[in-house]
Amino acid sequence: MPERYAKITGWGKYVPKRILSNADLEKMVETSDEWIVSRTGIKERRIRSDDENASDLSVNSARKALDMAGVKPEELDLIIVACSSPDYLVPGVATIVQDKLGAKCGAFQLTSGCSGWVYALVVASQFIQAGTLNNILVVGTDVVSFGVDYEDRNTCVLFGDGSASVVLQPSAEPAGVLTYELGSDGSGAKSLYVPGAGSVMPIGRYAQKIVDERLGYLRMDGPEVFKFATRTLSSSMKRVMDKAGLLPEDIQLFIPHQANLRIIESAARMMRQPMEKFMVNLQKYGNTSAASVPLALVEALEEGRCKPGDKVVMCAFGAGLTWASAVVMLGAGEVSLGQSWFNMGRMAKRAVGAVQGAMNNVMLTLQFRKYDAARKKKAAK
Ligand code: COA
């Protein structure tokens, strides 16, 4: 059987019209534009209107992706919607999207926090590569604002709402996901979670407690997530490039999860790559969870930051704790995976890079220990 690849043939995005700026947040909680920009890089985010739910945002971005790919909804073989803020707890939002689009195929929701869309892209690619399905819609949507406590300055400044979609179709030429890594560390589940409304605390029985103690909102251990994110972003991107036999120099654009500019800058430093090679649009949208990476991908394509034939590396991380990375070839082209392993010059460069990476990790660990010790000392006072 000839080799099949899952090529991205259409893409589209949708963000709500309403803008919530740092100046707006200054009126809601004790914060400042200076604090938010210096700690995160975020200037504003989009917030849904009351009648806009995850399915609406999804349909809006999906229609654009389908139009671009020239695929009618009824021609779809599968819809995957990565989402952690669905219209209802049950059913998953994907069936609602399927119905609103007028598609006739199977549809499922994939909930993996901010990593969800990269997970979904990898899952969808497997069906196409196996030759079992042809046209798959992969949507990343979150209306994080519904689960954010706008009295909690630790979280409310970080998140926003958005959606972005791609269509995957078979290609005989190398295209789409070339290598990937899916990761999970559930020991960190409570670093970023909503305590109320699941089966641990059924809303029907504990409604009053959930409201009184604000347990229906997102809770986050910021420093813990920050440490996890800085560790994961550069190391996971390096591993997927290694699997593909590629060096950072072979990559046209890095598309990281848009959680915090400092996390992205730290990855760029550790990978010894210039910030210009990292797509950043978090200043406009904040962290849009599952929509974050596809939204950055779509804007990078729209702005000409990357183009068909380019190889990009995506990496998302978030609640779970989870992470997902992929080397993706946009459009179709030629790759010879693993060939560069035999290139001695590159191997030498790789060895130097590995030593530099290890040294960076040691420095970072020492920095975190110092930071933790200072925090503990402060807490003990
Ligand atoms: N405005 C002003 N002050 C704020 C604030 C805000 N919006 N949010 C928190 N603070 C305060 C805290 O209450 C704390 O005050 P204290 O020292 O009096 O207790 C102080 O700022 C913490 O400051 P600092 O430790 O310097 O913040 P930080 O550098 O750890 O940055 C985050 C905080 C949240 C930006 C950072 O931890 C982070 O980005 N974490 C990862 C979050 C993330 O990416 N989550 C999603 C992953 S998918």
Residues 234-272 have pLDDT tens digits of: 999 999 999 999 999 999 999 999 999 999 999 999 999
pLDDT number for residue 197 = 81
The two domains 5-177 and 180-285+295-337 share their CATH topology (first three levels equal): yes
* 154 Cα–ligand 1 center, Å: 6
Q: How long is the chain?
A: 381
- Strand 192-193 versus strand 175-184 pairing type: unpaired
Nearest CA to ligand 1 atom 44: 259
- Cβ of 114 closer than 6 Å to ligand 1, yes or no, is yes
* Distance from residue 246's CA to the centre of ligand 1 (Å): 35
> What pLDDT, in 10s, does the model give residues 142-152?
999 999 999 99
Q: Which residue has a Cα nearest atom 9 of ligand 1? A: 154
- pLDDT value of residue 342: 36
pLDDT in tens, 280-301: 999 999 999 999 999 999 999 9
Q: What pLDDT band is residue 373 in, cutting at 50, 70 and 90?
A: low
Res. 354 pLDDT band, cuts 50 70 90:
low
Name the residues annotated as catalytic. 114, 257, 287
Please state, for a pLDDT cut of 70, what percent of the chain lies above it.
86
Neighbours of 282 (CB within 10 A): 27
Question: Is residue 207 a contact partner of residue 201, using CB atoms and an 8 Å limit?
Answer: no
Strands 78-82 and 106-110: parallel
Residue to probe by mutation, ligand 1, list 115, 218, 226, most atoms within 8 Å of CB: 226
Q: Looking at ligand 1, which residue's alpha carbon is closest to its atom 30?
A: 223
Q: Does the beta carbon of 292 sit less than 6 angstroms from any atom of ligand 1?
A: no
Res. 333 pLDDT band, cuts 50 70 90: low
Residue 55 above 60 pLDDT? yes
What's residue 339's pLDDT? 39
The per-residue pLDDT for 346 is: 47
Ligand 1 pocket test, pick from 25, 31, 39 with the greatest ligand atom count within 8 Å of Cβ, gives: 39
Global pTM reads 0.88
pLDDT surpasses 80 at 356: no
Fold classification of 5-177 (topology level): Peroxisomal Thiolase; Chain A, domain 1 (3.40.47)
Hey, where are the domains in the chain? 5-177, 180-285+295-337, 343-381
| 287 CA from centroid of ligand 1 (Å) | 14
> What pLDDT was estimated at residue 206?
94
Where residue 217 falls among pLDDT bands split at 50, 70, 90?
very high
Residue pair 131/304 in contact (Cβ under 8 Å)? The answer is no
- Topology adopted by domain 180-285+295-337: Peroxisomal Thiolase; Chain A, domain 1 (3.40.47)
H or E element, residue 240 = helix 222-243
